[in-house]
Amino acid sequence: MEMPNIHQLAAEKTDSTTISYFLLRQLIGILGILLPFALMIFGGRLQPSLSHYYYSFSHTIFIGTLASLSTFLITYKGEYRIENWLANIAGVCAAGVAIFPTNVKGFIGTKFISLPISAESSHLTNALHYGFATALFICFALFCAVVFQKPDKNEIIDDKKRMRNRVYRICAYIMILSILAIAFLSIFKNLDFPYSTLIFESTTLLPFGISWLLKGSYNWTHSRYDILKILVKPFR
């Protein structure tokens, strides 16, 4: 059976394939946008990085969001092979970030979650955590820089598609610069400043979320909510 094109999907608002194409993309985007804010609002004191919220009162939000992202990304099926591969890799990496916590060193305040001292200070666990996190952020950037700029099946490349591609490129640039900033400051620690990792992790997740929300916004043109129609009008 041939997969319906994007215009047919938009017309079938209750079709299960529509949910996969649009709602799943939107959910991934919403999670990416909300995660930094949710952690900082409910986690108490500001932490050096988003990963340090693992030990805070926001532990459940941190783990739950990463688990949801992992599930959504692995089950997500796009139209290009590279899209599916990137989603699968990103899903595995999101799970890895949740399974292998960062070292507790640097955590500020009273711990909500306690692990064995050997686990909280393990160099191997810490290396795995940052390895998975780095790979996850790179996958996020590649979605914007490469995948999302490709047209959907039977999609016309018009001015609005070009406008969306500009947004994807801007998101990619912001994510890449944020990733490089984290790497640079981890090497040149004398140039580091308070909460730098927290800031640049957030500026990686926010454009990631915006890009996925925009990618899944096609059916907003048919929404019963006027605000969604207004928001998407310049892009769809």
Considering Cα of 235, then 30, then 173, then 147, what sign does the dihedral take? negative
Where do the structural domains in the chain lie, given as residue ranges?
Answer: 6-233
How high is the pLDDT of residue 3?
44
Residue 218's pLDDT is what?
A: 84
What are all long-range contacts of 10-18, with beta carbons under 8 Å and residues at least 24 apart? Answer: 10/218, 10/219, 10/221, 10/222, 11/222, 13/219, 13/222, 18/219
Model-level pTM? 0.87
The 10s digit of each residue's pLDDT in 141-198 is 999 999 999 887 777 788 999 999 999 999 999 999 999 999 999 999 999 999 999 9
Which helix (H) or strand (E) is 70 found in, with range?
helix 59-75
Burial label for 214, CB within 10 Å (0-12, 13-18, 19+), is buried
Q: pLDDT per position in the chain (236 positions), as tens?
A: 344 444 444 444 445 555 566 888 999 999 999 999 999 999 989 999 999 999 999 999 999 999 999 999 998 888 888 899 999 999 999 999 999 999 999 899 889 988 888 778 889 999 999 999 999 999 999 999 999 998 877 777 889 999 999 999 999 999 999 999 999 999 999 999 999 999 999 999 999 999 999 999 888 888 888 998 999 998 98
